[in-house]
Structure 1
Amino acid sequence: MTAPVLRYPAELLRRATRMFATVAKIMLPVMLAVYVAERLGLVALAGRGLAPVMGMLGLPPEAAIIWATTVLTNLYGGIAIVATLASDLQLSVAQTSALGAMMLFAHNLPTEQAIVRKAGGSALLTGSLRLLVGAGFGAAVTWTCQLADWLQQPVSLAWLQGVGSAGGGTPDAGGWLLATAQSMGMIWLIIIALVLLLDALEWMGATRLFTRLLDPVLRLTGLEAHAAPLTTVGLLMGLTYGGALIIDASQREHYSRRTLLLATCWLSLFHSVIEDTLLIAALGASIWVILVVRGAITLAIMIALAALTLPHTRWGRRLAA
Structure 2
Amino acid sequence: MSLAYLNTIRQRSTRMFLTITRIMVPVMVVVYVADRLGLVRLAGEALTPAMAMLGLPPQVGLIWATTVLTNIYGGMASMAALSDSLQMNVAQVSALGAMMLFAHNVPTEQSVVRKAGASALFTGALRLTVGIVYGAAVAWICQAMGWLQDPVSFAWMGQDTALNQGPPDLLPWLISTARSLLLVLGVIVCMVILLDILERLKITRLVTRLLTPILRLSGLEERAAPLTTVGVLLGLAYGGALIIDAAERENYSPRTRLLALSWLSLCHALIEDTILILALGADIWIILVLRGLVTLGILAAIAALTQPHTWWGKRLAAQTDTRPVAPA
Q: TM-score, normalised by structure 2?
A: 0.70
Q: Deviations over 1:126-150 (max 9, x none)?
A: 0000000000000000000000000
Tell me the SS of whatever aligns to 1:226.
Answer: helix
The separation in 1 between residues aligned to 2:105 and 2:45, in whole angstroms, is 25
- What does residue 63 of structure 1 align with? 60
CA positional deviation for 1:181: 4.7
CA shift in 2, pair 1:94/1:303, >3 Å: same
- What do residues 153-178 of structure 1 show as CA deviations (whole Å, max 9, x unaligned)? 0001111111xxxxxxxxxxxxxxxx
Structure 2 residue corresponding to 1:236, chosen from 215, 229, 233: 233
In structure 2, the partner of 1:96 is: 93
1:311 maps to which of 296, 301, 308? 308
SS state of the match for residue 238, structure 2?
A: helix
Q: Which runs of 5+ in 1 are unaligned?
A: 1-25, 163-178, 185-201, 203-207
Tell me how far apart the structure 1 counterparts of residues 150 and 74 of structure 2 sit (CA, whole Å): 26
Structure 2 vs 1, CA of residues 319 and 277 (structure 1 numbering), >3 Å: closer, same or farther? same
Partner of 2:111: 114
Match of 1:124 in 2: 121
**Correspondence list, 1:155-166, <5 A:** 155-162=152-159
Corresponding residue number in structure 2 for 1:298 = 295
What residue in structure 2 maps to residue 20 of structure 1?
Answer: none
Residues of 2 paired with 1:65 and 1:245: CA distance? 33
Q: Is the CA contact (8 Å cut-off) linking 1:215 and 1:232 kept in structure 2? A: no
Query: Partners of 2:109 and 2:212 in 1: how far apart?
Result: 23
Rate the CA distance shift 1:233–1:56 in 2: closer, same or farther, 3 A: same
Relative to structure 1, the CA distance from residue 211 to residue 89 in structure 2 (aligned partners, 3 Å threshold; closer, same or farther) is farther
Shift of 1:261: 0.3
Q: Which amino acid aligns with 2:76?
A: I
How large is the Cα RMSD of the aligned pairs?
Answer: 2.8
TM-score (normalizing by structure 1): 0.71
Deviations 1:48-71 (A, max 9, x none): 754321111111111000000001
Secondary structure of residue in 2 paired with 1:180: coil
- Shift in Å, 1:220: 2.4
- Determine which structure has greater relative contact order: mean sequence separation of CA pairs < 8 Å that are 6+ residues apart, divided by chain length: 2
Instruction: Show the counterpart of 1:170.
Output: none
Counterpart selection for 1:250 from 247, 260, 265: 247
Q: Is the 8 A contact 2:44 2:65 kept in 1?
A: no
CA contact (8 A) 1:103 1:134 kept: yes
Letter in 2 for 1:64: G
Q: For 1:1-321, what aligned pairs fall within 5 Å after superposition?
A: 50-162=47-159, 179-181=160-162, 214=211, 216-321=213-318
Is 2:208–2:225's contact at 8 Å kept on the other side of the alignment? no
